Structure 1
Amino acid sequence: MNVLFQTRKDYLSNVAGDSVIIQNLRKNLINLGVKVDIYHDNRINLSKYDIVHIFNTIRVHESYQFMKHVKKHNKRIVLTPIYWDLRKYFKGTLQLEKIASWNRNEKKRKFLFDHCDIYLPHCMGEAKLIMKNYNTPSKYTIIPYGVDESFLMGKKYYLKKKYGIDDYILCVGRINHQKNQFNLIKALLKEKIPLVLVGTVNDKNYLKECLKMRKEKLFLLDHVKISELNSIYKGAKVHVLPSWIEYPGLANLEAGMAGCNVVTTKIGSTKEVFGEYIRYCNPYDFESIYKETMEAFETDKNNLFKDFIMENYIWMKIAKKVKEVYFSIIE
């Protein structure tokens, strides 16, 4: 079977959740005997492909161009939406100009959902939002996102040996408004526990605002390798992702796999995906962020969340489900 993945052209240079999903899914599908190419050209010759798998309906323009091209050539189409309705987030964080842009692109999103053979929401909450907002006749199968087993393999004292940082709180995610590092720093401003931020700086002005607070023992690590990240997770007592919205936050899975206590936002699909294995905070409320983070910090680690992830969210298990979907729409 030959499959073509189509996604935004900067998925490697501007790494985000879709980048991680695409690379891990491709690797594991190849291990299952599926031939998978990745291209961002919307005019590519499709003759050798049995299926075209399109990713991302948030950044919709490129996906829309892919879909139009594929429909002309009558190929089977799988869509991984990586979707959530972000308008409440934009309104709540006063990014009002983005609401207008979102609304302008709604017809393109509906075109994607209406013209795929099947779409793959990561949970029922995402599926219900898509059905509510687009009333699409296309069928769907819930396929969750996964995590690589390599996150089991970190070395606990990596940051202690390299920088002298020990017993720290960790936040992994792009440095930008959505991830809400500003409120996390502010909530922990008076604590002397080291706070380690790991992630690419997407918004330099936002970073400047974060650094203006001059929190004691605040560390920013940029361009971290996966092999290093495994160990950074392993050494953290708690991982906090207090984003304005997550669906559901791949860093939460990585941290849980490494054995961290985990705190994340209550907004988005987090509670459906992670259940009672982690703590949830209100990203608007400094007291909520502080309370949940400190309670997690003071709680002994256990393997309950890790075992739950191993049972449900390993990439090889996810890839097997996707392969089954591929065969179902070809047959």
Structure 2
Amino acid sequence: MNVLFQIRKDYLSNIAGDSIIMQNLKKNLINFGIRIDVCTDTKINLNKYEIVHIFNTIRVQESYQFMKHAKNNNKKIVLTPIYWDLRNYFKDTKQQKKLESWYRSEKKRKFLFDNCDIYLPHCYSEAALIIKNYNTSSKYKCIPYGVDENFSNGSKRYLINTYGIDDYILCVGRINYQKNQLGLIKAISKEKIPIVLVGSVNDKDYLKQCMKVRSENIYLLENIKTSELNSIYKSARVHVLPSWLEYPGLANLEAGMAGCNVVTTEIGSTKEVFGEFVRYCNPYDNESIYKEVMESFEEKGNGLFRDFIRENYTWKKVAKKILEIYLSLI
């Protein structure tokens, strides 16, 4: 079976959740014998492909062009939406230009959902939002996002041996407004606990704001390899994503697989996906962030969350479910 993956042009230079999801699915589906190409060209020759699989409905312009081209060539189309309704987030955070852009793009999103053969939300709350907002009758099947089991392998003394950092709070994610690293730093400002930020800097001005609040014991690690990240998770006391929203945050799965205690935002799909295995904070309330982070910081790690992830959220299991969908389409 030949399958074409289509995704935004900058998926490698601007790595985000869709990049990670697509690359892991590719690796694991190839292991099942599927031949997969990745292409960002909106006019690629589709003759040799039985299925076109499109990723991302948030940044919609390229996905819309992929969909039109696949539809015009009578291909079976699978859509991984990676969708959440961002209107409230843009309103609450006063991002008026992004809100206006969102509204301008809504017809294209509806076109995507109406014209795919099946779409694959990661949970039922994502599916419910799509049906409510776009009134689509297309078939869907909930397929969760996964995590590489190798995140369970790491050295507990990596950061203390490499950088002299121990007993730290970890936050893995792009350095930008949505991830709310500033809220975390403000909430923990009265403590002397090291905070380790791992991720690319999407917004240099935002990073400056973070460092103005507290520059002491704030460590930014960029260009970290996966093999290093395993150990960085492993030796953290707690991993925190106090984001304005997450759906559900792949870094939370990685941290959980490493056996790390996890605190995440209560906004988005986090509660449906993680259940009672993590702590939840209100990103609008620094006291909430402080309470949940410090209580989690003092707790001993346990393997219950890791066992739950292994049972439900590995990329191998996710890829097997998607393979069954491909077979049903052809």
Which TM-score band applies after superposition, normalised by the shorter structure? over 0.9
2:114 aligned residue: 114
Aligned residues: percent identity? 73
2:27 aligned residue: 27
Any stretches of 5+ residues in structure 2 without a counterpart? none
CA distance in 2, matches of 1:167, 1:204: 27
Q: Report matched runs for 1:129-140 at 5 Å.
A: 129-140=129-140
Contact 1:64/1:112, CA 8 A, preserved across alignment: yes
Contact 1:189/1:215, CA 8 A, preserved across alignment: no
Contact 2:242/2:281, CA 8 A, preserved across alignment: yes
1:303 aligned residue: 303
Contact 1:180/1:283, CA 8 A, preserved across alignment: yes
1:4 aligned residue: 4
1:5-46 residue CA offsets vs partner (Å, 9 max, x unmatched)? 000010011000001000000000000111111000010000
- 1:68 matches 2:74: no
Report SS of the residue matched to 2:58: coil
Instruction: Give the 4+ runs in structure 1 shifted more than 2 A.
Output: none
Any stretches of 5+ residues in structure 1 without a counterpart? none
Contact 1:171/1:198, CA 8 A, preserved across alignment: yes
- 1:202 matches 2:202: yes
Contact 2:80/2:119, CA 8 A, preserved across alignment: yes
For residue 166 of structure 1, what is the amino acid of its counterpart? D
CA distance in 2, matches of 1:294, 1:229: 22
Alignment size in residue pairs: 330
2:249 aligned residue: 249
- 1:94 matches 2:100: no
For residue 276 of structure 1, what is the amino acid of its counterpart? E
1:239 aligned residue: 239
2:211 aligned residue: 211
Report SS of the residue matched to 2:10: coil
Report SS of the residue matched to 1:154: coil
Report SS of the residue matched to 1:15: coil
Report SS of the residue matched to 1:139: coil
CA RMSD between the two structures: 0.5
1:147 aligned residue: 147
CA distance in 2, matches of 1:300, 1:196: 19
CA distance in 2, matches of 1:12, 1:191: 37
CA distance in 2, matches of 1:244, 1:232: 24
- 1:269 matches 2:281: no
2:173 aligned residue: 173
Contact 1:174/1:199, CA 8 A, preserved across alignment: yes
CA distance in 1, matches of 2:34, 2:237: 39
Report SS of the residue matched to 2:5: strand
2:162 aligned residue: 162
CA distance in 1, matches of 2:57, 2:225: 28
What is the TM-score normalised by the length of structure 2?
0.99
CA distance in 1, matches of 2:134, 2:30: 33
How far apart are residue 96 of structure 1 and its match? Answer: 1.7
CA distance in 2, matches of 1:67, 1:134: 16
How far apart are residue 98 of structure 1 and its match? Answer: 1.1
For residue 14 of structure 2, what is the amino acid of its counterpart? N
Q: Report matched runs for 1:303-322 at 5 Å.
A: 303-322=303-322
CA distance in 1, matches of 2:30, 2:156: 31
How far apart are residue 216 of structure 1 and its match? Answer: 2.4
What is the TM-score normalised by the length of structure 1?
0.99
CA distance in 1, matches of 2:101, 2:87: 10
Contact 2:8/2:62, CA 8 A, preserved across alignment: yes
CA distance in 2, matches of 1:11, 1:122: 20
